[in-house]
Amino acid sequence: MSEKEGSLFEESLKPLRRAATILKLEPDVVDVLSSHERILIVSIPVKMDNGKVKVFTGYRAQHNTARGPAKGGTRYHSGVCLDEIKSLSFWMSIKNAVVGIPYGGGKGGITCNPKEMSVGELERLTRGYAAQIARSIGVDKDIPAPDVNTTAQIMGWIADEYYKVTGEIVPGVITSKALSIGGSRGRGKATGRGGFFTTLEAVKVLNLPLKGARVSIQGWGNAAQPIAQYLHEMGAKIVAVSDSAAGVYNADGMNPMALTEHKTKTKSVKGFPGAKAVSTVDPITVDCDIFIPAALETQITEKNADKVKAKLVVELANGPTTPEADKILHEKGIFVAPDVLANAGGVTVSYFEWVQNRMGYYWSEEEVDEKLKRVMGEAFKDVYQSYKQYKIEMRTAAYVTAVQRIVDAMRALGRI
């Protein structure tokens, strides 16, 4: 493993160690939290469309199951490696504990480029992977879901293969499925909706009125579009957005629905009528009240953090702010709602899906929305209480909240 690959997990543990210092945890407890319970590495031979067999490598990591079965997505990407999967499964333990849902952390992935594969190749790859991990996952063991480059259809293939291998039809083994096979209403917009509820709580404590608030968003995908629409409906002005190709800016605000229609037609926000062209990173530093990073990781760095003008940053992307930038934002007095809190709406509604599958009874979208609002609101208040109590930044407060819950569970089980 290269030095670069080997560094991500070590970086991911830094907030844990800060939280452990604040909580005065013993070194052996930190060692347990820094270790994974189980990691599965599988080889998946797939017959490609050209008749040749190609072997792919797949992973499934279970970090800590003291609070419940492991839970986390499955990604298909050429950059997937063991170090990344370990980091992501650890983050899922933290995220699930922050919002108080009864799960530990899990994550899976396959090293591949799905954009270069046919539908048939993807299905054969998925079914091969599902057959390999079937005995390690389960409704009370480890519940996969979609992640980068995976979809509800791919989840359906995993579920079907699991049913065949185990001889049991257990819809709750997979979440973010199609509604026709036990998916939950409200799941598609859950990450954006959860981020919106977090924003509502944050503006309350900051005394920042939403009506007229200027919002800048980096990213224009499944998380960004819903939160922009909800904030627009509350009277906020969407002054800047960007996608992977371009950015647009209009100080008077832009209609999110029109932006989405434009992107659907042209494949980018580029050239949106009435807007000025800006770069893909300009939304980070434009004059605004709320900045929402909803694209890639490590976008706010020590090189641009001092130029951030927002009063509030709501992290919908995973890991958009580097530790060095975090410190700068804190010193500038910018309030950050961290990713492990702000983007937990998706996994929360996945939890609701799992609950509905186990009951065999399904809620309306209004019921899902009401429950999501309550969970996100309570999670924000818990993290904010740690923020005030220990006089620390919100990210560390989120880790303090989560780590304490995981440690309490391990102690109750007698594991430490």
Catalytically active residues, by annotation: 107
| Residues 144, 77: Cα–Cα separation, whole Å | 16
Count of other CB atoms within 10 angstroms of residue 63 = 28
Q: In angstroms, rounded to a whole number, what is the distance separating the alpha carbons of residues 318 and 331?
A: 22
332-365 burial by CB neighbour count: b if 16+ within 10 A, else e?
eebbbbbbbbbbbbbbbbbbbbbbbbeeeebbee
